[in-house]
Amino acid sequence: MPIAPPHRPLLAALAVPAVLAVIQQQLLLRLPPRLEGLGNAPASSGPAALQARFSRPMDPASLQSGSRLDPPLAHRWLGSGDSLLLSLAEGQTLRQPLQLDLSGRDRRGLALPASRWLWDPRPRLLAVVSQPGGEQLQVRDHDGRWTPISPVWPAIPVAVPLGDGSGVAAASRDPSGQLRLWTIALRQRNLASQDQGLVTLQVEPPQPLGDPAVTFAHLSSNRRGELLVQSGSLEEAGSTALLLRPRGDGRPQGRSRPLPWQASGPMLLLPGGGAVVVPDTDGLHLETLPPRPPRRQTLPGSRDLSSFCPQAGRAVLLRHWPDFRRSLELVEPGRAPQQLWLGSQAVVASACSRGGERVWALLVEGRGEPELSILVLDRRGTELARRRLEGWELEPGTGLQYDPSSEQLLAALRPLGGIDAPPAPAQPVLIDAASLELRPLPRPVSQVQWLPAG
């Protein structure tokens, strides 16, 4: 029996999709690259950084030569493929918003459509400000103006900015002494196309964080905008810890997950996310967070976490010795803690740059009239500078924070008065990271922190 000839119309119909796919692929290959995403990125080695995502692998050299910053700050394009990092060189300070003219070519030589962006990576200043009738959360903008972001509550003992700049978490104390927890969503547009432009801070009304009041609370956040709430009450023994993840609409409170660990002190989220530092009587434990598989790393001894460094996995620890001396240690991944300083003075706060290249510490010495001083060390423990901060004391319970974009430290310092004089309120004080010169800001505060650019 003769074989029937193939059905040519059917074969042609089957071939059409394949031909169209080839044509479509060729057309896509001829399309110019597109910028698909541009956002703030953690700056581990300079004052600020941007993460750029393109539709095609780009030529970093063409981006370096074709893009411009105004003011003309030194910068580098790092990485390869379709995701690259624009990193500002270390040692530069930002005094105004930046204009980025973005231009370059992909690996095929096709030009990226030019675009112009406005970028202000400088943080604002968040403070708990004394007001008639209590305290209020306020934000100081780059032009010096202060904006209230909360009602006046009787007291605000706890306030923490979310690490992605999307809001603030706080605890207010009511007249009965109980604490109420709140989140306040903030909208910052610190990176925008020239057509959109940068906008001033927009504030949403405070939202209650859980219904029952608590007796004590500690809050911690990371750069992902996650919030750890550690709280307890007199009615319940011990404390509970919840991890809140941000909602899709940008509000700072969303899904919550209880954490299983009991701590002897405040738990702190790792800035980059994925883990939490849990203190107990045996030392410091680094615990991974769900959904990552459980894993614990332990650093034994009488140690406290003093401050995180911008580079991942680096931190400054405060170690307590049996003879009542203290030491500062730099901890890095895969290495034993390195002692930077040992002395009898009390270390009340610290901050560090990059991976610990510079460490600043506030020291207190003396009993009758204690003296406050600031010490600067390098990563080998060499003393770079020291200055007595005469006439000042650190507001109890506050810390020291470093901003690489302005090369400034921030602290809440209280001016010392006479023996019989009532204590003066603390003020936000900016400290030049190099010269250690002080610049007080006239505002009565009990807490100050940097509010990250969103």
Out of 26-35, 187-196, 197-206, 431-440, the most confident range is 431-440
What 3-state class would DSSP assign to 39? strand
Same domain, 210 and 293: yes
Same domain, 169 and 295: yes
Q: What is the dihedral of CA 246, 252, 253, 256, to 10 degrees?
A: 40
pTM recorded for the entire structure: 0.90
Compute φ and ψ for 62, nearest 5 degrees: -70, -35
pLDDT at 57: 96
**Is residue 385 a contact partner of residue 376, using CB atoms and an 8 Å limit?**
yes
pLDDT at 6: 53
For 235, the token pair is 């009615």
Please report which helix (H) or strand (E) contains residue 75, including its range.
strand 75-80
Strand order in the sheet with 303-308: 303-308, 315-320, 326-331, 338-343
Share of the chain above pLDDT 90, in %: 77
Q: How many domains does the chain have?
A: 2
pLDDT at 258: 86
Mean pLDDT of the chain: 91
Domain span at residue 115?
Answer: 36-119
pLDDT at 121: 95
Is residue 418 domain-resident? Answer: no
Per-residue pLDDT tens digits for 233-264: 876 766 789 999 877 555 666 677 888 888 98
**Given pLDDT bands bounded at 50, 70 and 90, which one contains residue 268?**
very high
- Listed residues 69, 101, 119: the one ending a domain: 119
What 3-state class would DSSP assign to 64? helix
For 48, the token pair is 């600020």
What 3-state class would DSSP assign to 20? helix
Same domain, 166 and 267: yes
Other Cβ atoms within 10 Å of 306 Cβ, number: 22
Is residue 246 domain-resident? Answer: yes
Paired residues of 360 in beta bridges:
351, 376
For 109, the token pair is 């030589």
Arithmetic mean of pLDDT, 397-406: 96
Per-residue pLDDT tens digits for 17-38: 555 555 555 555 668 999 999 9
Is residue 438 domain-resident? Answer: no
Measured between alpha carbons, how far is 82 from 238 in angstroms, rounded to an integer? 49
Measured between alpha carbons, how far is 158 from 394 in angstroms, rounded to an integer? 17
Alpha-helix residue ranges (DSSP H) falling in 31-120 = 60-66
pLDDT at 421: 77
Arithmetic mean of pLDDT, 383-411: 97
Per-residue pLDDT tens digits for 326-371: 999 999 998 999 999 999 999 999 999 999 999 999 999 987 778 9
